[in-house]
Amino acid sequence: MKEVKYQDIVNTVAKLCIDSNCLIGDDIINAFQNGLKVEESPTGKDILKQLIENAEISRNEMIPACQDTGVAVVFLQVGSGVKVVGGELFDAINAGVAKGYKDGYLRKSIVSDPLRRKNTGDNTPAFIHTEIVPGDSLKITVAPKGGGSENMSEIKMLTPAAGWEGIKKFVVDRVMRSKANPCPPIIVGVGIGGNFEKVAYLAKKALLRDIGTVHPDPFYQEKEKELLEEINKTGIGPQGFGGRVTALAVFIEAYPCHIASMPTAVNINCHAARHKTAVL
Amino acid sequence: MKKITTPLTEAAVKDLKAGDSVLITGIIYTGRDAAHKRLTDVLKANQPLPVDLKGQIIYYVGPAPAKPGYPIGPAGPTTSERMDPYTPALLAYGMKGMIGKGNRTPNVIEALKKYTGVYFAAVGGAAALIAKRIKKCETVAYDDLGPEAVMKLTVEDFPVVVVNDCYGNDLYEEGMKKYRKV
Ligand code: SF4
């Protein structure tokens, strides 16, 4: 058994919350640079330049790139040989989120009840997804997610007859209806398969990939490329002002499913695509 | 790139067309859902507004907390749609502009024509850059609303794009059509 200390988890999670919000990934900045080369709209180009400058200011001064520092979505891979000492694992995650959002001057955007809507004041609870894996390490990924892009996400219980064309239509249509709301250029996470609750998780998990990485399965590599091309034909463009660069990437996660089903979920992420990982 | 200063005159608004990139200098006010509800309730009751919005611009924003030494935290636009039910009354009163992100309802677009107003979008997610253009920030009304209180911002070269002008044009519609390939 490997012992991992409660306080180390708290400190790590706090740092991941701050770093993910302030240190926009190189993959995103590269994608903005590449976008500048293909964007035809002058306003669109100007937006991409502003986003590059924004990411630089944010990195240099350690201030969040976007004011909506989101829900703290936390993915855990807990090795079966890991034992947390000094407290409970989930308590440590929540304490880390509270600390990170306070110390990093991040916005607290969580209400304790969907209808009574009182702010919890420290951005907890975190939304935690846990996997038990072989080994003796604890892998923690913090992926803050803003409301504007999350609200543009959707699940559809497609049936096998809809086929790839049905999936494509649903995804492109979802992006079309989102227009400027998720702050394009966007990153599109697509979950296909599983069942109702599983497919939403797949779409979210897809968003953890870095731009430029390719799907391990060549079949889905092609599908991702096709979807990206279709989405970038919509003309929505940066911020919805019209242009070529509507999405920076499309990531698909597929999973086995029932003979009668083909659930599909679209989780839209904005260009403020934030995720940082640490291993304890 | 056009440069404008606040408060806006009728002529200044008429000079702005959908698609124009604009830099704003002067005073702008912040307001979100809760403040909008109160402002329009005050107008309905024929009471004076806590800040005079004649000729002014409201920015839909909920900033992150300011780090020590900064006038304001990251401050990008929030989705404008939520303010749509309140907007026509404020335009009728004399407010001239709004800054946010995302589409407005036909009611708002009509009101912009009728009362000569303009809707700008700021770049969603460019919050650190936008905060650099905000030089001063003070709460001027509805303190009890916390981060949703009405704040007075002193801005310099605040970057926006005209989405809906006073002629009924809509950049979201026209821009997308222009670059659409399907
Ligand atoms: S959609 Fe993303 S970039 Fe836009 S305001 Fe929300 S978190 Fe920020």
Write the pLDDT tens digit of every residue in B139-155: 999 998 877 899 999 99
Q: Which of B62, B79, B178 sits opposite A67 (nearest CB)?
A: B62
Distances (CA, A) of A75 to A16, A197, A203, A250, A277: 12, 16, 14, 20, 9
Q: Please, where are the H alpha helices in A143-269?
A: 147-150, 163-178, 196-206, 218-231
Query: From the candidates B123, B134, B161, B178, which should be mutated to test the interface with A, based on the most A CB atoms within 10 A?
Result: B123
Residue with tokens 């400058």: A53
- Domains plus CATH for chain B? 9-16+30-177 (3.20.130.10)
Does B19 sit in the ligand 1 pocket, CB within 6 Å?
Answer: no
Does B79 sit in the ligand 1 pocket, CB within 6 Å?
Answer: no
B182: pLDDT strictly greater than 80: no
Give the tens place of pLDDT for each residue, A105-138.
999 999 999 999 889 999 999 999 999 999 999 9
Distance CA A103, CA B99 (A): 30
The whole-number pLDDT of residue A260 equals: 97
Does B102 sit in the ligand 1 pocket, CB within 6 Å?
Answer: no
The whole-number pLDDT of residue B165 equals: 97
A278: pLDDT strictly greater than 90: yes
The whole-number pLDDT of residue A117 equals: 87
The whole-number pLDDT of residue B56 equals: 98
The whole-number pLDDT of residue A81 equals: 96
Ligand 1 atom nearest to A147, measured from its CA = 6
Interface check B173 vs A, CB under 8 A: no
Interface check B30 vs A, CB under 8 A: no
Q: Which entry of B32, B36, B96, B101 is annotated as an active-site residue?
A: B36
Distance CA B20, CA A175 (A): 25
Does A68 sit in the ligand 1 pocket, CB within 6 Å?
Answer: yes
Provide CB contacts within 8 A for A122, sequence distance 6+. Answer: A97, A98, A101, A102, A108
Q: Which of A57, A65, A234 sits opposite B180 (nearest CB)?
A: A234
- Contacting residues of B for A183, CB less than 8 Å apart: 101, 123-125
| Interface pTM, i.e. ipTM | 0.93
Distance CA B36, CA B82 (A): 10
The answer to whether A77 and A131 are in contact (CB under 8 A) is yes
Give the tens place of pLDDT for each residue, A57-88.
999 999 999 999 999 999 999 999 999 999 99
Cross-chain Cβ contact B127/A236 below 8 Å: no
Cross-chain Cβ contact A241/B64 below 8 Å: no
Does A79 sit in the ligand 1 pocket, CB within 6 Å?
Answer: no
Q: Is B36 a catalytic residue?
A: yes
Tokens of B14: 């008429």
Ligand 1 atom nearest to A70, measured from its CA = 7
- Contacting residues of A for B174, CB less than 8 Å apart: 242
Q: What value does the mean pLDDT take over residues A243-263?
A: 98
pTM of the model: 0.94
Return the half-sphere exposure (C-beta side, CA atoms, 13 A cut-off) of residue B159.
Answer: 20
The whole-number pLDDT of residue A40 equals: 95
- Contacting residues of A for B61, CB less than 8 Å apart: 67
Q: Which residues pair with B13 in a beta bridge?
A: none
Q: What value does the mean pLDDT take over residues A185-200?
A: 98
Task: Single out the residue of A76, A16, A62, A33 nearest to residue A212, CA to CA.
Answer: A33
- Residue whose Cα lies nearest atom 2 of ligand 1: it is A270
The whole-number pLDDT of residue A122 equals: 96
The whole-number pLDDT of residue B148 equals: 85
In the reported structure, the alpha carbon of residue A181 is separated from the centroid of ligand 1 by a whole-number distance in angstroms of 8
Give the tens place of pLDDT for each residue, B122-143.
999 999 999 999 999 999 999 9
Cross-chain Cβ contact B123/A148 below 8 Å: no
